[in-house]
Amino acid sequence: PKTLPNELRDAVAHIVGLNADRATYDTLLTLARKSTATNERVRYYLAAAAARDAELARATLALTLTNELPGTLVPGIFSTVGSSGEHQQLAWDFVRSNFDVLLAKQGPGFRDQFVPNFMSGFTDEAPAAELANFAPTQSTSGGRLMTARATEAIAIAADFKARALPAVDDWIKARKP
């Protein structure tokens, strides 16, 4: 870490995290745990959360159930794990399976705001229906409002994806030698 200019450390750590094997992942967690600087801890935890390996993604999500991570970092962990299309469903399944523990640790904003905001990153209709039927987000007026906004955002993204991807594919095929 000390050999890199400060402005490159986040980017390099993220790339390392993306491609991490178990040993590299463990090194990132060790760096996070040993650091006394908040920005360094955040850098290494988020780099670990970026791992493409599903087993490592599950291990990172499990950290959200412990007291190891500051509560303010938990949403970033879910967003980072879920930013990989292949781990988006994994993160959502984890939220549903561990919802009560996460809600107790994170407070009502987790139910009313975080879950709908996290789900708004999906681009298929099925998750919109899952969110709409997820009882905890429907239990308050704020949760219902945020859920309605998220399901609308998902529907817009799904529609755009359905319209744009074929055009992009055609464009690529037309330029492919």
- pTM, whole model, 2 decimals? 0.86
Rounded-to-integer distance, Cα 97 and Cα 116, Å: 16
Rounded-to-integer distance, Cα 102 and Cα 17, Å: 24
Q: What confidence category does residue 3 fall into, taking pLDDT thresholds of 50, 70 and 90?
A: confident
What secondary structure letter does DSSP report for 114? I
Residue 83 has pLDDT above 90, yes or no: no
Rounded-to-integer distance, Cα 86 and Cα 90, Å: 8
Average pLDDT over residues 144-168: 94
pLDDT in tens, 34-57: 999 999 999 999 999 999 999 999
Question: Residue 145 CA to chain centroid, in angstroms?
Answer: 22
pLDDT at 44: 97
pLDDT at 107: 92
Q: What confidence category does residue 176 fall into, taking pLDDT thresholds of 50, 70 and 90?
A: confident
CA angle 53, 55, 128 (to 5 degrees): 85
Rounded-to-integer distance, Cα 60 and Cα 63, Å: 5
Residue 1 has pLDDT above 80, yes or no: no
Residues 135-146: b if buried by 16+ CB within 10 A, e if exposed: ebbeeeeebeeb
Q: What is the mean pLDDT of the chain?
A: 93
